[in-house]
Structure 1
């Protein structure tokens, strides 16, 4: 899978080519996604996206849905390309997971607004709170969604610090889910490569 800087119809593989590529490389993609997933407490995971993860997602959707027409391909690109970091930010999929359906319903009601209380903190700099769900609102008066899309916009000084090896915390200061964790060095090295 070729990383080009922008997902376009011309930069995607045909369904046949992708099917062959997938057999040989699926494990690498899973490892890449796992490396970039940060667990925050017991019930929240944050998957930091990349061009590779989103290109894979588009190719998977095209394969599963057997989409080969231009309009359908463009719709998939339009759905996932906004989650590719632009060089000034990190973009992520946040998942709130409670295995028990009753507990999940109760906790999603208690966690309204959690997506706006997610932050990253680069060592030596202030917190950067997520800009959440830019595509559509994912909560209502009764509950929040189990999935949110986050963007963390970093200043030039923060980006330089990360590239120079500064530590980064991921956290949440929602009243009902206070948590923070240091991003592992291997994950941070991958995230640093997203920054210009």
Structure 2
């Protein structure tokens, strides 16, 4: 397993190292000691599975805030996604900046997303399954996010007419998100 920092502070790309032989392969998905050596010592409390039937499905850009802010460890177990994270930490010098990573069932990569990032993804194939661990339990009263196609973010999504939930279509713009932060 190789852990390397991403372009945004708080993001880490994790490359898994499958061991293969004539039977198939074995892959260590999580190693507490190795994570601890990289300062990524988290107590995972929940694991979630997201299944999207259609190519071009966008889920996001979600986060939990306050004392319920989550760290996430994300991997694809079926299909391929364009995974995106936006820095929504109000005091961060990279507030409003985004980055992405391609996660597929075969590229042996995961992404570690620290607290305060909005997260979303676009499926690049039909029948995609995403599995992710979080270090906080789901708290709907502390969830939020920003609109996937906010013009100030300029995220270069690979799909222009996505399959989306009504809820995600109604998320606030980055400017509205900032105003809400300032009011609290």
TM bracket (short chain): under 0.3
TM-score, length of structure 1 as denominator length = 0.25
Greater share of helix residues, 1 or 2? 1
Query: Rg bigger for which structure?
Result: 1
Greater share of strand residues, 1 or 2? 2
Higher relative contact order (CA 8 A, sep 6+): 2
TM-score, length of structure 2 as denominator length = 0.26
